Each structure stands twice: as C-alpha cells, then as structure tokens.
C-alpha cells in the first residue's frame, strides 16, 4: 500500500481553511435501561492528535461515538467542538462540521461499485447547480477533475484499484473496512472517528493502514480518534489514549501512562 507521503496534494482544500478541531466531553452519561452505558465521562482531545479509545467489547466506545455524532441525542452532559456545544444537532449537521466517522460493521452501499461509493462521499463538495452541470461549464469541469482525482488517489492508496468497478457488497471484510476508511477520508474530515477500523484485516493490511493514518495526521494535522478492543494496534500510533470499561473511564494520558495504569493492567494484563 502506498504511503500518504506520495500524495501531498490529496487534500488541496475544498473546505474553508479551518485548522482548529478540538473535542471536549464533559460529564457525559448515557442511560441504558436501569444502568449506564456511559457514566460521567470526561475527555479532552486536542487539534492534530491521534487519540486511542481502548476498552473491551461493551465498554462504551461505540456509545460514546454515537453521542458525539448525534445519535442518540438524549444524553446528560455536554460535547463541545471548538468550544461550541453540539448537543441536539442532527448527524448530518455534525458531519458538515467535519466530524466524520466509520462504524464497526460495514456501512458501504453494497449494490454500488467501489468507485461509486467513493464518488458519493464527495457529493457535498459539488457547488454547481443543474444548469451548470448541463452546460458542463469550466467550473463544473474543475470540480469533476478535483473530486475524481481525490477519489482515484484514495482508491490507489488503499489498494482497491482491482475492485474499483466491483459491487462493494462483494468485498471481503478487510477490503470493505479499507473502503469505508477511504470513503471517510474523501469527505475531508477535521476529526476522523474510526470504530474498530482494523477488524477483518491481516496484520500487513493493518500496518499499512496505520502508516497511512499516521502520515495523514502528521502532514495534514487531521485529528484522529481510534476505538479498538485490542490495545496494541491503536496505541502504537497514538499521542494519547483513554481506557473505558463498563462505561467508566479508567485512565487517560500518554500511551505509557495508560498501559501501566493499575486499573488498566487488571483488564489488559501486561504481556511477557
């Protein structure tokens, strides 16, 4: 898989130049029946960080992501994006802010080709109207060229060239996850939220995707949040991390601090 460094023009910006992308979670609780899926969670994620959210299955990672991205909206506490409370906003409004996520399961459009899935992710960056499209004006041609170029580069980076005209529903699990990450990147995220991104990938595929994410973060300063059950893959490229268990935050800090925290060692015994 090619490195992001080979494509320095990938994010020639379609968005306005908005560099700040900080996320603050304050006293967040989400009730589930008589208990809590999340209980009084505080997190602070800074612009340009790679932040790992670790925890066993059922720890509350996906529930936290659902709250951040607008579903469900009925939680206690607050979520601030660049000091602005985004509670109550619809998922598509939050996506327009540049907070883009992937999911645990496959959320590609199975009947559409890989290429069509990728092009659809660029729909919000088309600024022309129907009349301009019919005339195929110079502006339309520039937009088409830019959007198609970005899509083709991402297909190339994630080694999906051979499947670009195949239905996305026919992809094996690892390739489907790569498509979903590539599609999220096509939406030019300011904060990229990845829920179990390495599921179904071989170790070689995982290492390649980790390298792309690391290069992307360092070259373009995109804030990335990675949720994983396994600590090793996500924490290896992270600046900071937090560990959840049964909806409670056990620790937050540097990878070394988190890995060696007594409460974390109880659920992730040190290897060797």
**Burial environment of residue 72 by CB neighbours within 10 A (0 to 12, 13 to 18, 19 or more):** exposed
| Torsion angle (degrees, nearest 10) of CA 89, 87, 243, 263 | -160
How many domains does the chain fold into? 1
Query: Would you say residue 100 lies in a domain?
Result: yes
- Averaged pLDDT score across all residues of the chain: 86
Q: What is the rounded average pLDDT of the residues 105-117?
A: 89
Domain boundaries, position 39: 4-13+20-267
- DSSP SS3 for 249: strand
Query: Would you say residue 166 lies in a domain?
Result: yes
Query: Would you say residue 242 lies in a domain?
Result: yes
Structure tokens at 259: 């890995």
Asked if residue 196 has pLDDT above 90, the reply is yes
Query: Would you say residue 168 lies in a domain?
Result: yes
Query: Would you say residue 272 lies in a domain?
Result: no
* Domain CATH code at residue 132: 3.40.50.300
* Nearest C-alpha neighbor of 62 from the set 179, 173, 193, 189: 193
CA 76 from chain center: how many Å? 24
pTM above 0.85, yes or no: yes
Confidence of residue 220 (pLDDT cuts 50, 70, 90): confident
Query: Would you say residue 229 lies in a domain?
Result: yes
More confident residue, 146 or 42: 42
Structure tokens at 189: 């995220």
Confidence of residue 69 (pLDDT cuts 50, 70, 90): very high
Query: Would you say residue 253 lies in a domain?
Result: yes
List pLDDT tens digits, range 10-52: 554 455 456 789 999 999 999 887 788 999 999 999 999 999 9
Query: Would you say residue 153 lies in a domain?
Result: yes
Confidence of residue 257 (pLDDT cuts 50, 70, 90): very high
């Amino acid at each position: 898989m090619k490195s992001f460094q080979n494509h320095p023009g990938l994010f020639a910006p379609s968005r306005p130049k908005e560099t700040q992308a900080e996320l603050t979670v304050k006293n967040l609780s989400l009730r589930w029946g008589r208990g809590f899926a999340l209980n009084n969670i505080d997190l602070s994620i800074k612009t340009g960080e790679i932040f790992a959210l670790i925890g066993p299955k059922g720890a509350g990672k996906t529930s936290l992501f659902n709250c951040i991205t607008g579903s469900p909206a009925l939680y206690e506490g607050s979520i601030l994006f660049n000091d602005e409370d985004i509670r109550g906003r619809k998922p598509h409004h939050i996506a327009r802010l540049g907070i883009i996520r992937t999911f645990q399961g496959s959320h590609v459009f199975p009947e559409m080709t890989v290429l069509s899935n990728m092009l659809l992710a660029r729909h919000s960056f088309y600024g022309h109207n129907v009349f301009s499209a019919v005339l195929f004006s110079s502006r339309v041609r520039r937009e088409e060229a830019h959007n198609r170029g970005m899509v083709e580069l991402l297909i190339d980076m994630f080694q999906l060239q051979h499947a670009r005209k195949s239905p996305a529903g026919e992809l094996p699990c690892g390739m489907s996850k790569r498509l979903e990450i590539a599609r999220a990147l096509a939406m030019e995220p300011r904060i990229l939220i990845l829920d179990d991104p390495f599921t179904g990938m071989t170790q070689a595929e995982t290492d390649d995707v980790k390298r792309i994410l690391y290069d992307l973060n360092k070259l373009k300063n995109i804030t990335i949040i990675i949720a994983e059950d396994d600590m090793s893959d996500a924490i290896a490229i992270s600046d900071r991390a937090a560990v959840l268990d049964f909806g409670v935050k056990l620790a937050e800090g540097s990878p070394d601090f988190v890995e060696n925290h007594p409460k974390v060692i109880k659920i992730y015994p040190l290897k060797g």
